[in-house]
Amino acid sequence: MRRVAVTGIGAVSAAGLTASETWSAVRDARSGIGPLDCVRSEYITTRIAAQALDFDADLHLGAKRAALLDRVSQLAVVAAREAVAQSGLSSDGPALRSAAAIVGVGVGGLVTLDNAFYRMYGERNRRAHPLTIPKLMCNAAASHVSMDLGTHGITYVIASACASGTHAIGAAAQLVRSGAVTVALTGGAEACVTPGTLLGWEALRVLARDTCRPFSSDRSGLVLGEGAGMLVLEDWEHAVARGAPILGEVLGFGASADAGDLTSPDVNGAAAAMRLALDDAGLAADRVGYINAHGTGTLLNDQVESAAIQAVFGSGTLPPVSSSKGVLGHALGAAGALEAVVTIMALKEQVVPPTANCDNPDHTLGIDMIPGDARAVQFDTALSNSFAFGGLNAVIALGCA
């Protein structure tokens, strides 16, 4: 089995238009959650979201090409470009040409879908845009990444709701580890801030009114976000041979299914995924120096995840835990990928980021949720957790370069 190096990262988020900007915001607890900027907002009561408002697809892709892509694909392509540029892979070299592209997407081209339905039901227009299907289909994000960067390897989308990005990274790492591919572009993307999507989330009664406060005693729900996080994974020896910048390593991957409730998480399922990731990495629990939590800020999710962490690590070896969603919002299929980028940067800089907006830490949860400021620590391994609706759990173990 080959070692899996991370040689490039890219991100577009509500907190920044690059990986470094996104990381800086999470490290400094500068929230990207703000007033909602959304067409037809009169249909919904939600007034906040975590949106990449400064993202200009025309600037990156040109107006003509940008019009052919749903926002989810635009975000994925731009983040992938950044990751590949950092990796130093040659655009016309064999490694990139044969690379895989595995992208996690929770729900696909929702901007296109929402506009199509409004055109039909709201405006009574019986003609759809001719590119409606190619723009909204779930696999479009992976296809556009492949076309934009010229990769010809295995390419597909993984859709597992909020665990999509982490599942995609795990699947891509397995391809590299097995020797099936030398390079894989992977991560997640989502552009879900639309009236129809927000209306559906409002019906679930899990959206916060003012902001997201993970692990805080006054937490009141999640805040929808958008963005993309992309990684270049590479055979370690190949990366070393070409002098690539190795940012970190994917050590292991674990996934499980609760086989229980569609929306309520289960302690045993979450704990199983963490244990599987540790086993796959060959790590003892006391080696883990940080956990980037799923940490949605809902009452139930934070309770269940905290209990699962305690079940795996015990009170004596419990590592610090923080959530990035107080800064980035919950970007569904992109969440795990953005959080993987954050975790890699935390390992690289030896800084554990805080949980933003955790002004009243809920000590009944029994974890060190890092309220306040970032914490300088020495650690060489970390976990990044994603637990999705449908009881689908995915965890990756990451290590220092």
Distance, CA of 312 to CA of 273 (rounded, Å):
10
Which letter, b or e, does each residue of 38-50 get, where b requires 16 or more Cβ atoms within 10 Å of its Cβ? beeeeebebebbb
3-state DSSP: the chain helix, strand, coil percent, rounded to 5? 40, 20, 35
Distance, CA of 259 to CA of 233 (rounded, Å):
31
DSSP string, 195-207: HHHHHHHHHHT-B
Q: Phi and psi of 158, rounded to 5°?
A: -105, 130
DSSP string, 33-81: -EE---TTGGG----EEB--TT--HHHHH-HHHHTTS-HHHHHHHHHHH
Residue for token pair 């991957």: 253
Which letter, b or e, does each residue of 244-269 get, where b requires 16 or more Cβ atoms within 10 Å of its Cβ? bebbbbbbbbbbbebeeeeeebbbbb
Contact call for residues 20 and 83 (beta carbons, < 8 A): no
- Residues identified as active-site: 162, 294, 330
Contact call for residues 300 and 357 (beta carbons, < 8 A): no
Among 342, 71, 323, smallest CA distance to 211 is for 323
CA separation, residue 310 to residues 215, 319, 362, 367, 393 (Å): 14, 10, 15, 8, 17
Structure-token pair, residue 323 = 């959530």
Reduced to 3 states, what is the DSSP secondary structure of residue 370?
coil
DSSP state of 139: T
Among 9, 12, 3, smallest CA distance to 227 is for 12
CA separation, residue 264 to residues 58, 301, 388 (Å): 40, 8, 9
Structure-token pair, residue 92 = 């016309």
